[in-house]
Amino acid sequence: MPVLTVDDIKVEVPEGTSLLDACRQAGARIPTLCYLEGVQAIGACRMCLVEVEGAKTLVVSCVQPATEGMVVHTSSSRARRARRAVLELLLSEHAGDCQSCVRTADCELRSLAELLNIDEVTYQGERTSQKIDRTTPALVRDTGKCISCRRCVTVCNQVQGVGALFPQNRGFNTVIGPAFAMDLADVVCVQCGQCAAVCPVGAITENSVTEKVWEALDDPKKHVIVQTAPAIRAALGEEFGYEPGTLVTDKMVAALRRLGFDAVFDTNFTADLTIIEEGTELLTRLKKALVEDKEVALPMFTSCSPGWINYMEHYNPDMLANLSTCKSPQQMFGALAKTYYPKKLGMDPKNVVVVSVMPCTAKKFECARPEMGRDGMQDVDYVLTTRELARMVKQAGIDFRSLPEQKMDKPLGISTGAADIFAATGGVMEAALRTAYEIVTGTAFPFDNLHVTPIQGLEGVKEASVTIEETVPDWAFLKGATVNVAVAHGLANAQKVIDRIRRGEASYHFVEVMTCPGGCIGGGGQPRLTSDAVRQARIKAIYAEDEGRELRKSHENPEILALYDEYLGQPLGHLSHELLHTKYTEKDRV
Amino acid sequence: MTDDVGKTGCSGCEEASEEELLARLDEVIEKYKEKPGALIPVLQMAQGIFGYLPEVALKKVAKGLGKPYSEVAGVVGFYSFFSTVPRGRNLIRVCLGTACYVRGGMQVLEALKKQLGIDVGETTEDREFSLEVARCFGACGLAPVITINDVVHHRVKPARINEVLAQYAPEAVGAGGRSE
């Protein structure tokens, strides 16, 4: 293990450690911009320059391996001057309208300018060409603010395997964007927003609808209801200074009431509903395959994550039949909120406005899909990201930290712990297993504390098998069967699972896919910046929320039982089919 | 691979229909799709087949090699060798690498622009000549250098540019041409 000297401090680091990490280990805080822990170290921005004795030039520490005997000065005047020049050059090209930029509070470029004490940009010259692309419902791109750090390119290509963004042209004319400066709406982009989640500046942000939500809230004729995704409660607090992993469920409910929503509901309710519908769908598919000897698409893939749906439609259209036909919990909620709910209240559905708070930008695209509505109305009217909700709370002058703790409204706000864990990778699978196992066997789910630990955590692809020893008479054909499941998060990992299935190397029955690394808690609409440590903290909070519940299995949710009793009839029944299920469309790959 | 890459000329492409050209591209993709680093050579061959890189060819390359379209476009945009607009019968590239630049490459370029009545990246109305700039052909000792199609012309003098052009399309040197 190499030993080196960083600012007179000796450090020993494992072979292959970058000089940047070695310096950090020695307590030196070197500024970085393009570097993204665990994702990208490419030396594009040159902010992390340090002086190494004996080297002719300054060294880019993020791409330089630490080697034996190196003597490093992280803050020599030469290094400081160089970093300052680099930053001034970046600033001289940047079309920064900091006063009105949505990123002004957490812009990494601006905070570096502060850190490096830049009070004047010496260089004057040509600025980056500016094109603002608002063509997708999910994202806005502003090339004038882009500093070409390539974080978005790396997550789009390597983590998601989508490749909507790539450096175009050359030198000063380089533009990070879709092919030939096309609009995002005209290329294959799954709208997951991971680019927006890693952008250090305001070059990629969500397409905000806060003003439209304010308009709805201000309209006395409208009955405006809100649903919050399970992942929001474990992350929203970060926008108000809480540590990552702080649960703020009850304060969030109070904040939503203060904003003026007429009812505060929970996407968790329809997450429980999803488990009933999707679990029944899986068991039905298994029965068709095993008993009726019919052609049926297996494994079945989950369908909650709209970026994943977009990905399948473009990249694996021959496997669309493998996707569960269940709408996502957001859209199941929307469908009920425009039918069941107004009927129950004796209200005209036209006056109901449904707002979602999602950790996700692809949800903005999903709610606008033409098949997600009825009678000329969309089921979900507006989708706010976690970040947008935080901005609205701040804009309304609400002191979030001093809010009282309140509970969600009935009936669409009642849920179980199985719904909470939808937010974390592996959660939908665990929730589905909790219910399917009990339906099939008639006995209690045998896992310790109800957790299927092999499918938890941040490993890219996870697997588990559950053997069914005994069954109730209806499911006798499953007696002795072993159900193989897989869980993937990040679309590149999902594609690996698909490739293995195609090659016949894996025989899964059920596969959970979440578009974003870590699942929804790491979604493209969550507070920035989501590192693996932040993901772990949010996941821990989600499991704590689950464990704190009396009811932790979807089939025990009394409001779901009432919904079937009063309205839907039975899972996969006629009304379920009409309201809760959907179909997918093959799209072009390029 | 090098043999195929060499075939970048456009001879005979006027006669072939688009379907025939696309079929030729399919053969190229089929041959190279499993090879690592195939994108640039395949693009060179595609340009050899079509004379330029039309959208339909680029999308076929992206699909065939399993590359994002944005990456294919990024590579095409990075290298001045690639063109997404049709070119004239003769392609002139003026080297503006360091050696050619200091020995008058810019003056050569200006003379060509004036003579042909087009700017860099454009094609003459009669589709005889296209004009592009390039960075170094590796013939720095012979600077300033231009290439016309695959022929290198060295120590080019701006004042005598007509004589060079005359070898390719005498009619293009007519009315507007001066020969001082």
Is B162 a domain residue?
A: yes
Q: Average the pLDDT over A541-551 and give the result.
A: 97
Helix (H, G, I), strand (E, B) or coil at A375: coil
Using an 8 Å Cβ cutoff, are A229 and A384 in contact?
no
Residue A426 and residue A487: Cα distance in Å, rounded? Answer: 6
> How far does A163 lie from chain B, in Å, by closest CA?
5
> How far does B76 lie from chain A, in Å, by closest CA?
8
What is the radius of gyration, based on Cα positions, of chain B? Answer: 17
The tens digit of pLDDT for each residue in A327-361 reads 999 999 999 999 999 999 999 999 999 999 999 99
Residue A457 and residue A424: Cα distance in Å, rounded? Answer: 9
Domain around B120: 90-173
Is B180 a domain residue?
A: no
The tens digit of pLDDT for each residue in A127-152 reads 888 999 999 999 999 999 999 999 99
**Positive/negative CA dihedral, A401, A403, A407, A410:** negative
**B7: pLDDT confidence band, cut at 50, 70 and 90?**
very low
Q: Quick one: chain A helix, strand, coil %, rounded to 5?
A: 40, 15, 45
A278 is catalytic: yes
Q: What is the CATH number of domain A101-203?
A: 3.30.70.20
**Positive/negative CA dihedral, B162, B164, B170, B172:** negative
- Same domain for B100 and B66, yes or no, is no
The residue from A51, A277, A366, A388 that is catalytic is A366
The domain boundary, picked from B78, B111, B145, lies at B78
**B14: pLDDT confidence band, cut at 50, 70 and 90?**
low
The domain boundary, picked from B78, B111, B138, lies at B78
Is B179 a domain residue?
A: no
CATH architecture classification, A3-75: Roll (3.10)
A430 is catalytic: no
Using an 8 Å Cβ cutoff, are A19 and A64 in contact?
yes
Domain at A277-326+415-580, CATH class? alpha beta
- The answer to whether A317 contacts chain B (CB < 8 Å) is no
> How far does B64 lie from chain A, in Å, by closest CA?
11
Is B63 a domain residue?
A: yes
Chain B residue whose CA is closest to A165 = B70
Provide the CATH number for the domain around residue B167: 3.40.30.10
**pLDDT value for B135:** 84
Residue A255 and residue A240: Cα distance in Å, rounded? Answer: 12
The residue from A371, A470, A566, A586 that is catalytic is A371
Other residues' Cβ atoms within 10 Å of the Cβ of residue A344: 14
Question: Cα angle at B70 between B68 and B74, to 5 degrees?
Answer: 120
Chain A neighbors of B78, CB-CB under 8 A: 167, 169-170
Other residues' Cβ atoms within 10 Å of the Cβ of residue A284: 15
Question: Which of B133, B35, B8, B7 minimizes the C-alpha distance to B79?
Answer: B133
Locate the domains of chain A by residue range. Answer: 3-75, 101-203, 210-269+331-402, 277-326+415-580
Chain B residue whose CA is closest to A171 = B78
Say yes or no: do domains A210-269+331-402 and A277-326+415-580 share a fold. no
**pLDDT value for B16:** 83
**pLDDT value for A126:** 86
Question: Which of A488, A87, A173 minimizes the C-alpha distance to A311?
Answer: A488
> How far does B150 lie from chain A, in Å, by closest CA?
25
CB contact under 8 A, A187 and B77: no
Chain A residue whose CA is closest to B82 = A169
CB contact under 8 A, A163 and B78: no
pLDDT above 70 for B13: no
Chain A neighbors of B69, CB-CB under 8 A: 163, 178-179, 187-188, 590
The domain boundary, picked from B24, B54, B78, lies at B78
The tens digit of pLDDT for each residue in A481-522 reads 999 999 999 999 999 999 999 999 999 999 999 999 999 999
Share of chain B above pLDDT 90, in %: 72
- Same domain for B94 and B149, yes or no, is yes
> How far does A31 lie from chain B, in Å, by closest CA?
29
The tens digit of pLDDT for each residue in A442-465 reads 999 999 999 999 999 999 999 999
Question: Which of A356, A406, A385 minimizes the C-alpha distance to A227?
Answer: A356
- Same domain for B41 and B108, yes or no, is no
Chain A neighbors of B63, CB-CB under 8 A: 589-590
CB contact under 8 A, A163 and B59: no
**Positive/negative CA dihedral, A56, A59, A63, A67:** positive
Give me the interface pTM, i.e. the ipTM. Answer: 0.92
**B180: pLDDT confidence band, cut at 50, 70 and 90?**
very low
More confident residue, A281 or B89: A281
Is B28 a domain residue?
A: yes
List, as ranges, residues 155-184 from A with C-beta within 8 Å of B: 157, 162-170, 177-180
The tens digit of pLDDT for each residue in A161-207 reads 999 999 999 988 999 999 999 999 999 999 999 999 999 999 999 99
CB contact under 8 A, A163 and B71: yes
A281 is catalytic: yes
- The answer to whether B121 contacts chain A (CB < 8 Å) is no
Residue A434 and residue A450: Cα distance in Å, rounded? Answer: 7
Residue A588 and residue A584: Cα distance in Å, rounded? Answer: 13
Chain A residue whose CA is closest to B60 = A590
CATH architecture classification, A210-269+331-402: 3-Layer(aba) Sandwich (3.40)
- Partner-chain residue, chosen from A168, A589, A590, that has the shortest CB–CB distance to B74: A168
Is B85 a domain residue?
A: no
Chain B residue whose CA is closest to A172 = B78
Residue A178 and residue A136: Cα distance in Å, rounded? Answer: 13
A304 is catalytic: yes
Chain B neighbors of A160, CB-CB under 8 A: none
Is B18 a domain residue?
A: yes
Chain B residue whose CA is closest to A170 = B78
**A69: pLDDT confidence band, cut at 50, 70 and 90?**
very high
The tens digit of pLDDT for each residue in A207-221 reads 999 999 999 999 999
Residue B37 and residue B47: Cα distance in Å, rounded? Answer: 17
What is the radius of gyration, based on Cα positions, of chain A? Answer: 25
Q: How far is CA A48 from CA A11, A45, A86, A118, A167, in A?
A: 19, 8, 10, 17, 22
Other residues' Cβ atoms within 10 Å of the Cβ of residue A583: 9
Is B107 a domain residue?
A: yes
CB contact under 8 A, B67 and A163: yes
- The answer to whether B78 contacts chain A (CB < 8 Å) is yes
- Partner-chain residue, chosen from A167, A169, A590, that has the shortest CB–CB distance to B69: A590
**pLDDT value for B171:** 57
The residue from A48, A62, A192, A520 that is catalytic is A520
Other residues' Cβ atoms within 10 Å of the Cβ of residue B7: 12
Chain A neighbors of B73, CB-CB under 8 A: 166, 168, 178-180
Share of chain A above pLDDT 70, in %: 100
- The answer to whether A187 contacts chain B (CB < 8 Å) is yes
- The answer to whether B69 contacts chain A (CB < 8 Å) is yes
CB contact under 8 A, A168 and B69: no
CB contact under 8 A, A166 and B59: no
Amino acid letter, A345 = L
Question: How high does pLDDT run on average in chain B?
Answer: 87
Q: How far is CA A340 from CA A280, A369, A459, B121, in A?
A: 21, 21, 40, 62
- The answer to whether A77 contacts chain B (CB < 8 Å) is no
The residue from A304, A326, A360, A516 that is catalytic is A304
State how many domains chain B has: 2
